[in-house]
Amino acid sequence: MAAGHVPVLFNEVLEYACCREGAVFVDATLGSGGHSRGILERYSGIRRLIGLDCDQDAIDRATENLAPFKEKTTILQGNFRHLRRLLLEAGTQSIDGILFDFGISTPQLKDPERGFGFGNDGALDMRMDRSMPQTARNLVEQMTARELETVISSYGEERFARRIAAAMKQAIAHDPRLSTRELADLIFRTIPAKFHPEKIHPATRTFQALRIAVNDELAVIAEGLDQALELLTPGGRLLAISFHSLEDRIVKNRFRDWAKDCTCPTDLPMCVCGGKKRLRILTRKPLSATEAELRENPSSRSARLRVGERMN
């Protein structure tokens, strides 16, 4: 493991990766390389592991963590929405397994310069890839209050989206350097105390919404999953870890559609799509952290793992 980094659902990922001899496996969200290292240690017959991440800091950590396996690993910087192109450039047209671990990593969350959290004060950034031009602050400045309300409501599922959006627009107009902690405090005051969530900070949903919007995360997930299925060889496995309902819904719906023989509307009298089942779902319900893992790694509380196997 990388120092201080605990991958979520680690044992479950190793169990379901099930890498065969000579396999090419892709870690599409490399992070610090914890899952990848575990897979390489458990499945010594892997021919090649390809790790992707759009965050240069993560790539630096993973490169160090995977150094003992450098002859088997290829690490690429890029967003998995470009999965097919990135793998083609690396000389790979098909794969035998792939892991997606959506959301943000602990090092990203704890780094005040990244602006993902509010435990430490920092700038409103929230970019996974710091070469991207638009930060969270830019987004708040450029959007109307109505547009911002839609983002917070849709991506954060926040009932007080209108109040929060109006307060944010007023605050950032007064002080364009509004920081993460100042924003969190503003949201804390804006939501009536009796409606504060019991287990999370009142600002959590709004921060999630801004992060999703800045990084276009939901569209990226859909595009990455679609490409992954096409790249998988028969028997290859697709593992996806989600952390909130919006992510999990995309994975669940994709898996459900791929596991159908026919995708025609139910009101058609006969099948016209000629659809074939492309995926066998291996997890009837998503897997979640055990009590032991929750004690060791509380951040795994909301993690959900779904696994499917590519059919002929």
Give all strands of the β-sheet with 232-242 in edge-to-edge order: 73-77, 48-53, 24-27, 95-101, 232-242, 304-310, 279-281
Closest CA to 4 of 61, 86, 47, 48: 61
pLDDT at 182 over 70: yes
For 210-230, write each residue's pLDDT tens digit. Answer: 999 999 999 999 999 999 999
**Which numeric CATH code is attached to 10-101+217-310?**
3.40.50.150
What 8-state DSSP symbol labels residue 132? Answer: S
Q: Where are the beta strands (DSSP E) in 28-104?
A: 48-53, 73-77, 95-101
Work out the pLDDT band at 3, boundaries 50, 70, 90.
Answer: very low
Question: Residue 271: its pLDDT value, please?
Answer: 81
- Which residues make up the CATH 1.10.150.170 domain(s) of the chain? 117-215
pLDDT at 2 over 50: no
- Which residues make up the CATH 3.40.50.150 domain(s) of the chain? 10-101+217-310
For 74-131, write each residue's pLDDT tens digit. Answer: 999 999 999 999 999 999 999 999 999 998 888 899 999 999 999 889 999 999 999 9
- Provide CB contacts within 8 A for 237, sequence distance 6+: 16, 17, 18, 96, 97, 98, 282, 307, 308, 309, 310
Question: Residue 5: its pLDDT value, please?
Answer: 61
Q: Confirm or reject CATH 2.30.33.40 for domain 117-215, answering yes or no.
A: no
For 272-310, write each residue's pLDDT tens digit. Answer: 777 789 999 999 999 999 999 999 988 899 999 999 999
Average pLDDT over residues 44-58: 96
Q: Is 22 left (phi over 0), alpha (psi -120 to 50) or beta?
A: left
pLDDT at 173 over 60: yes
Cα 210 from Cα 149, distance rounded (Å): 11
pTM of the model: 0.93
